[in-house]
Structure 1
Amino acid sequence: MKVNQLSLGLTLPISWSREDFLVAPGNEAALAWIDRWPDWPGQALVLHGHAGSGKTHLAQIWAATASHARIVGPDQVRVGQVDDLARQPLAVDDADCVGDPAALFHLINMVRERGHTLLLTGSLPPARWPFALPDLMSRLKAMPSQVIAEPDDALLAAVLVKLFADRQLNVGEEVIRYLVPRIERSCHAARHWVAALDAAALAESRAVTVALARKVLEAQAD
């Protein structure tokens, strides 16, 4: 098997620790909400932002260090599972993708009735979630919500440095300076390009340089 085939199959564990959450002006208010728990109005909170903005990381921090909550995905929110899900503090990641709005409505009510706390994450503000159930939308709009902004240059650079370090890649500052203004301003995009550069460097048995970064970005732009 060729080296480039091997490199594309590599997966690395993601650290969800608080120490690995990079705080910046765009996300510090969301982190403050996590630290404010359990003093959340209505025992609920919605965090929203683009993919890779840190919503899942904050949910993991909340579950691990404060509430000992359970974290589930949208596919797990079903009518037959509501009673089980509402037995403890709960985070529903990508809650705006729940396929059973009635189940989400009953879950919100049951978690509150049992005195637990609910954290929901989504890509858009809750008022723009694609649910046609009026009672559910009323509940969502009443919850406190906090946006997580796209990273600024300093945070995006720090994310890139961390992602390269996680892969044990020694990358010069000139590579970071080259990438920051040329990639989408999101942590999701940063992960994509770091993985692509890692794969290219392994395939060509060379270091990650500006020349390699230019080659990879231009190739994927075609």
Structure 2
Amino acid sequence: MTRSPQLSLPVHLPDDETFASFYAGENMQLLAALRNLALDQGERIVYIWGAPDSGRSHLLHACCAEMNSSDAATAYLPLDMHAMMHPGYLDGLESMALVCLDNIDAVAGDKDWETSIFNFYNRRKELSDATRLIVTANAPAHQLSWALPDLASRLSWGITYRLIELDDAQKLSALQLRAELRGLKMPLEVARFLIKRISRDMPTLLNALDQLDRASITEQRKLTVPFVKETLGL
């Protein structure tokens, strides 16, 4: 479980979103940087930007899972849920081993949240053994509309990566990987059928995989195109 002051938040880190289940595609360098960060090697601040549903949250969940397995204290704040939180949740987080600020673009223009994040960065800088920090957004920091212009400069500390979306061929491989990790064999023709017949975004594809996994266990059937059609009503 993630150890953080906001345990009362309705936030659950998925057990299946780990480094092993992340299909990197063209993001091998980013994946390596995050693995190193989790091991307390290399860069200690990483800013990741990319399109919605490109896997940003998965990577943060993976980092938390990796460090939690070593009993390191981590904090994950999904800032797209900031309406359910208080900016004061950042107070004291600089003492954690890892802090993840997911979807920071959601609080751009909110002066209270920006001030809290700005102060957190400053407190962190004063520590000799500062927390490792990962921030995600849908755009580079300098392109977001901040109420505090100096916050963009704080967010540029460390290293910035763009998370490159998977193309359709890579999504096929990602889908097969996630199926394999569940103990399911997904033939290529089944993966291709899913890509063609339902939305191509990974959350939708993985939700479909959840349904297929449950149905396969219940009915003791393999993944075939007829079974997929029947289960998903396609």
Same-fold status (TM-score > 0.5): yes
Q: Does 1:121 align with 2:136?
A: yes
Query: Match of 2:204?
Result: 189
The verdict on how the C-alpha distance between 1:34 and 1:77 changes in structure 2, with shifts beyond 3 A counting, is farther
Which deviates more, 200-209 or 94-103?
Answer: 200-209
| Map of 2:88 onto structure 1 | 80
Say if 2:22 and 2:58, in contact at 8 Å, map to a contact too.
yes
Distance in 1, Cα, partners of 2:182 & 2:52: 21
Determine which of 92, 97, 105 is the counterpart of 2:101. 92
Moved more, 64-73 or 186-195: 64-73
Decide whether aligned partners of structure 1 residues 133 and 77 sit closer, same or farther in structure 2, where only a CA change above 3 A counts: farther
Q: Which residue of 2 aligns with 1:57?
A: 58
Alpha-carbon deviation of 1:95?
Answer: 2.3
Judging changes above 3 Å, is the alpha-carbon distance between structure 1 residues 183 and 112 closer, same or farther for their aligned structure 2 residues?
Answer: farther
By how many angstroms is 1:196 displaced?
Answer: 5.2
Give the superposition deviation at 1:157.
Answer: 1.2
SS state of the match for residue 19, structure 1?
Answer: coil
Shift of 1:167: 5.5
Partners of 2:117 and 2:140 lie apart in 1 by 16
- Distance in 2, matches of 1:57 and 1:82, equals 22
SS at 2:91's partner residue? helix
CA distance in 2, matches of 1:214, 1:39: 47
Alignment gaps of 5+ in structure 1: 1-12
Q: CA deviation at 1:150?
A: 1.0
1:111 paired with 2:114, answer: no
1:31 counterpart residue number: 31
SS in 2 for 1:176: helix
Change (3 A) 1:189 1:150: farther
Q: Distance in 1 between matches of 2:114 and 2:141?
A: 13
| Residues 97-125 of structure 1: CA deviation (Å, up to 9, x unaligned) | 24511111111221222241321112322
Matches within 5 A, 1:141-156: 141-156=156-171
Q: Is the helix fraction higher in 1 or 2?
A: 1
Task: Confirm or deny: 8 A CA contact 1:46 1:120 kept in the other structure.
Answer: yes
Q: CA deviation at 1:46?
A: 0.6
TM-score by length of structure 2 reads 0.67
Letter of the 2:176 partner, please give it.
V
CA shift for structure 1 position 31 = 0.9
CA distances 1:191-220 after superposition (whole Å, capped 9, x unpaired): 13324556788999976543565688896x
**Any unmatched runs of 5+ in structure 2?**
1-13
Q: Deviations over 1:138-167 (max 9, x none)?
A: 322455210111113343112222344455
Tell whether the 8 Å contact from 1:71 to 1:93 is kept in structure 2 after alignment. no
Matched residue count: 204
Amino acid across the alignment from 1:58: L
Q: Aligned pair 1:140/2:155, yes or no?
A: yes
Supply the AA of the counterpart residue of 2:28.
E
Please report how far the alpha carbon of residue 77 of structure 1 lies from its aligned counterpart in structure 2 after TM superposition: 7.1
Per the normalisation by structure 1, the TM-score is 0.70
